[in-house]
Structure 1
Amino acid sequence: MGAKGKIVLFLVVICIVLLIPFAANAGTKTEGAVVSLDTPTINALSDKGCIEDAEYMRGHHMVMLEQWRDDVVREGDCTYTSSSGQTYEKSLERTCFSCHSNPDEFCSSCHDYAGVAPYCGDCHAMTDAELQAGR
């Protein structure tokens, strides 16, 4: 077998190896993450909308939260104006968690499903006293 034949054989073997995971999962359907919106605050709302539409929040919430963090910490800008014109405080705890008071069910279910480990809890699990002390 010449050099060209070895290269072609090598490429075929690599393609087969790379396609094995796809072939193993072919025809199977994976259920998405189960998100619980069952909180007393959300249940009491007549309009169950978030600060932006659900599709936007699913795809861009982390970008929004990182931008909020930068705006608040670096610029002192603490007010968010939504696309509908409503204003909100740029606060994970006081804005987001005021409705989504079930982060273990709401946040963690999607983050676990997607295999991501957000670092929000590095700061937001601390008490206000610990934050003010600079810990």
Structure 2
Amino acid sequence: MYDGGKIITGIIIFLAFALFPFYSNIGKADIKPPKPSLDTPVIKALKVKSCVEPKQYMRESHMQLLIKWRDAALRHAQRVYVNSKGDEYVISLQKTCLRCHSNRSEFCDRCHKYADVDPYCWDCHFSKAKQEEQR
């Protein structure tokens, strides 16, 4: 009974650590997600603006699609992707995705920074500027 002060102090310290993630993020949840810029010459020139899959699917699952593409291309030598509408696309990040979405900083990096993710795509795949720089 004489250790009540120590016990209460311990409980307060425990609660401070346990609740830290909650009170350190107060007021940060109201940040609106960024809208990726689709302002590229290739996209502007398209009559029908569509991606390999519907917009919502690409927002939510593009990384899973890219992993499937990687496995299909590298492990199974499959180079053609047939989407949900039956259209065929070449399985290639640089030749398919980056052909339209060439503005990496405005399109990819903006959302990845917001979501605090660091995709490893760019460990192997380069932007056109970086490719020319390495030549």
- Match of residue 22 from structure 2: 22
Instruction: Say whether 1:71 aligns with 2:69.
Output: no
- Match of residue 42 from structure 1: 43
- Match of residue 84 from structure 1: 85
Q: CA deviation at 1:9?
A: 7.5
Query: Aligned AA for 2:70?
Result: R
TM-score normalised according to structure 2 size:
0.77
SS in 1 for 2:124: helix
Moved over 4 A (4+): 6-13
SS in 2 for 1:124: coil
TM-score normalised according to structure 1 size:
0.77
SS in 2 for 1:88: strand
Whole-angstrom distance in 1 between the partners of 2:116 and 2:75: 30
Q: Judging changes above 3 Å, is the alpha-carbon distance between structure 1 residues 7 and 49 closer, same or farther for their aligned structure 2 residues? A: farther
- Match of residue 93 from structure 1: 94
Give the root-mean-square deviation of aligned CA atoms: 2.7
Q: CA deviation at 1:27?
A: 4.9
Deviates more, 1:75-84 or 1:105-114: 105-114
Gaps of 5+ in 1: 131-135
Gaps of 5+ in 2: none
